[in-house]
Structure 1
Amino acid sequence: MARSLFAHELIEEDKPEVLRFLAERPLHTVVMSGFVRDNGIESWLNRGTFYGCRDDLGNLEGVALIGHAMFIDARSGEALGVFARLAQDVRSTHMIMGEQETIQRFWNYYSAGGQAPRLSCREVLFEQTSSVEPFPPVPDLRPANLDDLSLIVPVHAAMAYQESGVNPLDADPDGFRMRYARRIRQERVWVWVEGGQLIFKADVISDTPDAIYLEGIYVNPDERGKGYGSRCMSQLVRSLLKRTKAIVLLVNEAHQAAQSFFQGIGFTQCGLYETIFLREQN
């Protein structure tokens, strides 16, 4: 007999239950867990709404953040269908990201509402749980400060454009700078700046006791091939593992050189992901 499932907006009182649910699969829910820990359940900073999917006994079957970016953790195909029908009415979604199999199943439901992909990319999830033999240290690797903002923002925007085909400095310049400044104030951006040049940067997108998720890893093109990326990443990972169990990041499936780089500093593959960027809806 088919189960009866229903979705509802989550509220702050649901936070402990939501965190317990997400903690069952910490590597795959690290982004949502980070949002909940940083901002709470109900916050404009999440750029979307958290929903829960429950069975007729009230048991949580799935959690989703539906908004500018969409993330889903569902225990069944039925729960994915419930979230997909909800998401079809949201016109502001820019991207959907998650485990490859989950996203493909979700898309079968979701696309029935007429949504069209603009760009799709497959990615490999990498994990590191222990420090490897350290590379030579980088004394000047440090958390960024607001004085670095003008140096970092154009680089990060260019990386976003390369990935998604949308330049955030064109689409939402003030919001993009504001969000990046907040990340800097949270000490979530690590940089090596020398002679007014950005040599290296990495962004901590989500920081939880079980996992830290990194994005935006950059080495100045003029400084590549000198081992700077390996040294900075080794030092950063070693530092971050003092407060979490695993460091995770995504690498485009087509970028074999990048995959080899991360494997060379101790990361191992632990999953396949897919990101779908959507066409703007009128």
Structure 2
Amino acid sequence: MKVNVHALIALEEAEVLAFLARRPIHTSFITGLIHDNGLVSPFNRGSFYGFRNSSGHLEGVALIGRKTIIETNNEEAQEAFAHLALKSPLPFLLRGERSQIERLKNLCEVMGRTPRLICRELLLAQNSLPEGIEEVQELRPAPEDHLQSVVDVNAKMFFEENGVNPLKIDPEGMRQRVAQRIEQRRVWTWVKQGRLIFKADVITETPEAAFIEGVYVHPYERGRGFGLRCMTQLARHLLQRTASLSLIVNEENLIARALYRKAGYEHHCNYSTLYFSGMIE
């Protein structure tokens, strides 16, 4: 089979979205980027590539950039995309299904791009609400004056996950991305007496799926059921306009896993993330 990896162009957008729609939960992040920004945009923080077989059929799509995401079940395509990504100075992380990432680790070492950190994760999904959970009417899209609080919390969470403080590397870029999410009404907060009790970022949202990151409960408020109530309240809002919700959680974070299970999330797939030296938020 002749390998054909090429940079995707705007005219291919409908075909790419149809390909990604085959697995909406797995592809919610990159599908949402295309819906928000188009197939070719600096706001994607990378470039989309396609893999076509000798007949010209699209068999794989990858975002090669700060966050490198590969969507294909073709092993030849996986290696071609990964090779392209690892030749670039951009990748900070390479994320995908665990079986896929395990196959690509050897290629990373051969190319001299040994990851500094490997996180084993779980992709969770939800499409219905648990019953009997008290509402949180105060949970709402964050106003502009919550920007600094959200930036600070996101930076702290990112550092705790992978040891890099994005505010020391790209403070203005991070601030701009959070501000854009707030403007899009995709950052949800509950503030009580000046304290940020809960926060969650809806990174992307389409009619098929929404992808959630940055779920936070203030340390002094944990163990009081606020996380469960707020995650359920968020789902009440989002599931009115999208078919499913998804998020990724570190396999070792048993407390978060228990929270998401109570909130109605179910295990969908095992994931892994390879972190490299570089920058990202």
Q: Which residue of 2 aligns with 1:178?
A: 176
Q: Does 1:43 align with 2:44?
A: no
Identity of aligned residues (%): 46
Could you tell me how far 1:134 is from its partner in structure 2?
A: 4.0
Which letter does structure 2 place at the counterpart of 1:214? I
* Distance (whole Å) between structure 2 residues aligned to residue 6 and residue 107 of structure 1: 22
The one-letter amino acid paired with 1:275 is T
Look up the match of 2:210. Answer: 212
| 2:126 alignment counterpart | 128
Q: Where does residue 32 of structure 2 map in the other structure?
A: 34
Letter in 2 for 1:147: D
8 Å contact kept, 2:28–2:204: yes
1:1-282 mapped onto 2 (5 Å cutoff): 3-280=1-278
TM-score (normalizing by structure 2): 0.96
Shift of 1:62: 0.4
Q: Give the drift of 1:237.
A: 0.7
CA contact (8 A) 2:130 2:262 kept: no
Counterpart secondary structure, 2:269: strand
Distance 1:207 1:215 in 2: 12
User: Please, what TM-score do these two structures have when normalized by structure 1?
Assistant: 0.96
Q: 2:230, 2:56 → 1: CA distance? A: 47
Q: Residue deviations 1:87-135, cap 9 Å, x none?
A: 2320121111111111222333343211111111011111111111141
Contact conserved, 1:134 with 1:235, CA < 8 A, in 2?
no
Q: Post-superposition shift, 1:280?
A: 4.1
Secondary structure (helix, strand or coil) at the match of 2:154 reads helix
Where structure 1 has 5 or more consecutive residues not aligned to the other structure, the ranges are none
Moved more, 107-116 or 16-25: 107-116
Amino acid at match of 2:48: F
Give structure 2 stretches of 5+ with no counterpart: none
Contact 2:188-2:201 at 8 Å conserved across structures: yes
Distance 1:233 1:154 in 2: 21
For residues 111 and 55 of structure 1, the distance between their equivalents in structure 2, rounded to whole angstroms, comes to 27
- Provide the C-alpha distance between the structure 1 equivalents of 2:248 and 2:73, rounded to a whole number of angstroms: 23
1:55-106 deviations in Å (ceiling 9; x for gaps): 1111001000001110001131111121122123201211111111112223
Q: Is the 8 A contact 1:251 1:258 kept in 2?
A: yes
Aligned pair in 2 of structure 1 residues 215, 280: CA closer, same or farther (>3 Å)?
closer
Aligned residues: 279
Mark the CA change 1:211 to 1:30 in structure 2 (over 3 Å): closer, same or farther.
Answer: same
Q: In structure 2, do the counterparts of structure 1 residues 16 and 134 end up closer, same or farther at CA, with 3 Å as the change threshold?
A: farther
SS across alignment from 1:91: coil
Range with bigger deviation, 262-271 or 108-117: 108-117
> Post-superposition shift, 1:270?
1.1
Cα distance in 1, alignment partners of residues 278 and 197 from structure 2: 35
Amino acid in the other structure paired with 2:113:
Q
